[in-house]
Amino acid sequence: MTAKPVLWLPRKVSAATIERARRGYEVILNEADTPGSAEDIVAMSAEADAMMPCHSEVFSADVVARLDSRLKIIANHSVGTDHCDLPALKARGIAVTNTPDVLSDATAEIAMLLMLGAARRAVEGDRLVRTGAWDVWSPSFMVGKQVTGARIGIVGMGRVGQAFAKKARGFDMEVHYYNRTRLPADKEHGATYHATLDSLLPMADFLSLHCPATPDTRHLLNAATLDRLPDGAIVVNTARGALVDEPALMAALRSGKVAAAGLDCFETEPGGNPDFSKFDSVFMLPHIGSATVRTRDAMGFRALDNLDAFFAGRQPRDLL
């Protein structure tokens, strides 16, 4: 009988994923569910044929250089691969896959939640009720910004951006987007394309980020780009924390240039940026964009599909 490939699961993925993985692989599961350190990754590369990491496991060039030759594939439990040095892994002959498609709607839902919460002062209102401080009402009380019919600017019109645009159209929002390439007309659904970020920003009463984090997009939102937004704009980020210059965003919040923000990701994770807690106008979540039962199962199964194909001698569907 041929021995099963050994699979390291550095994080506790969904129960359904673990159950399926154990049917096809000898699974080494990190029951502590703590992020795998560089030393953990290097050590496990000598014991495992495959790994299913999350974005918490970082495959830097230094780590990749020290990986054991036993490791053949990294099947990421994520869409983003900014935690992987892809050229270094390719040079070592290690296959890398991700899990596109399956988390688009869940992440778009969180972006909608953040946009609505930021626009309608959810943080401030929730605290007033919870603390028993709500003792007044008037027509001028807790007035926020209306979403319906407003202009939404979307940066990055990939799968998540398109899913968010679909939901925004349900609020009769006027959709504008900036993307590296223009979408085919049948996927635009009436959205207005902008060839440059500078063209998009002045149109964005609301701005939602859905692009990957790369050296080119780091601090894409900074003092200069924030200044191009309409006064009182609302910023939403469910993509990656590196896209936003956090001190610049806080300065824009203090000045009123940006009325509010909804953030699911931060430059430092876990933990976020405690300075944002000084702002009632910032609605924050702990990077849970894809955290639904259905999506977690789908992500795990997509990663396992890639592993199954690889060990059957086929090209994985999501090979990078």
Active site residues: 240, 269, 287
For residues 118 and 282, the answer to whether their CB atoms sit within 8 Å is yes
93 CB-side CA count, 13 A: 6
Q: Return the SS3 of 266.
A: coil
* Of residues 316, 292, 289, 306, the one with CA closest to residue 20: 306
Burial class (CB in 10 A: 0-12, 13-18, 19+), 172: exposed
Dmax over CA atoms of the chain, in Å, equals 76
- C-alpha of 289 from chain center: 6
Q: Cα–Cα distance between 148 and 156 in angstroms, integer?
A: 22
- For 202, the token pair is 């002045």
Q: How far, in Å, CA of 78 to CA of 295, rounded? A: 11
Residue 121: name the closest of 301, 279, 316 by CA.
279
Q: Is 6 exposed, middle or buried (0-12, 13-18, 19+ CB in 10 A)?
A: middle
Task: Give the three-class secondary structure for 111.
Answer: helix
Can you tell me whether residue 123 is helix, strand or coil? helix
The torsion of the CA quartet 223, 227, 230, 231, rounded to 10 degrees, works out to: 80
